Amino acid sequence: MKWYPYGHDFGNAEIGGVTVINGKTVSLSIPTAFAKVDTTALRNLGVNVDQSNVHVMQLEDEEAAYAIGDLALQQAIDVYHGRGDIQRYASRFSLRSLLTIAATLIPDAEFGIYVVTGLPAETYIKNAALRSAIKESLDGTYTFTLNDEKAPRRVVVEVATVVMEGAGALIAYNDRSGNKMTESAVIDIGGRTTDLYVARGQVPVVEYCKGKPVGVEMATQMMMDSFENKYDRPLSLLEAREIMHAYAAQSQGEIARYPEVSSYGQTIGHYDLERLVKEAVTQVGSEIVSFVASAWRQSDRDAVAASFKPVLNIGGGVFYFYNFLKKRIPHLSRPDDPVHANCIGYCTLAGRLLIRKVQTGSSSSNGSSTSIRIF
């Protein structure tokens, strides 16, 4: 059986996964949304569950199948996303998402994944027991079906370690930049939280590692509330997500594809949708900037700029809030793939630990060959 290093990021807005196949790093993100579905009914309705943006999985020991990601948002009004539930990191939902993305990325019918995952800074510091609970909930051998595949998959999961979010990005970034012992910082803006991580080399500076429940979802909710107040009808989660993504694309110089939204037969113009998002993003962006300055005890722009180098901005919030932070921290930088920055580092660390494990196993077997094959 072949083993792969794997980075798992169970965010409250997006689920990310990164692994290495034939020397190439591959990644995937899907919305954090779960809904029980009837697969027979889906097929009767003409839903092609073999599309790349459709994920339906069923564990062998469970009666129900789950739609994960976009299909869950399409099929259910109330979906599970785990926001506010700290135990979600050690839940069956995390396991389902891990297996789904891993099996989507890796084509083998049977394989093993050596997993590194992360926790928000304050959760990691204050809740050591949760790290053990994550390993206990994810470790194991699982048989399940994915989408329309005829034969079930068999995957062995072993959690190598749980690290602090932000550490993953610095593993990837500092490895590439060659800065091994600098005092580095990460501002990780996700769906629900903004987490700050500072390390000297790879040793966290705990007093600067903080988190606050403010992120893209706060701006999304503000936009949804403003929309309902103005147009007297609520937006669905799917509509809100599409509106936010269109704004993010526009902010990156791409074509903004706002969804067609109407109220009582009147189509709402893209300009009006953009204005609602911009107002919400500006308000939340100001709050994030204030939080960073306060957490790092900086009182003026020059002090912030001189604090840590590099300062890396990662997470899906980069597409909304990077420019706000850049004005306050001129040397702020962002990776090419901010969404998967942590996951790439997790996968890098998982690969090192997997190689070390194989080498240790080979040494302890007195020269006999190991049965583990790795990526």
What is the C-alpha separation between 294 and 299, in angstroms, rounded? 8
- pLDDT tens readout for residues 293-310: 888 876 555 454 456 888
> Is residue 180 scored above 90 in pLDDT?
no
Please report the sign of the dihedral spanned by the C-alpha atoms of residue 355, residue 358, residue 361, residue 363: negative
Q: What pTM, to 2 d.p., does this model score? A: 0.87
Answer with the residue of higher pLDDT: 32 or 203.
Answer: 32
What is the C-alpha separation between 209 and 188, in angstroms, rounded? 11
- pLDDT tens readout for residues 328-368: 898 999 999 999 999 999 999 999 999 999 888 765 554 44
What is the C-alpha separation between 304 and 298, in angstroms, rounded? 6
Axis crossing angle, helix 216-231 with helix 237-251, rounded to the nearest 10: 120
What is the C-alpha separation between 195 and 166, in angstroms, rounded? 8
Domains contained in the chain, CATH given: 2-164+340-374 (3.30.420.40), 180-334 (3.30.420.40)
- pLDDT tens readout for residues 98-118: 999 999 999 999 999 999 999
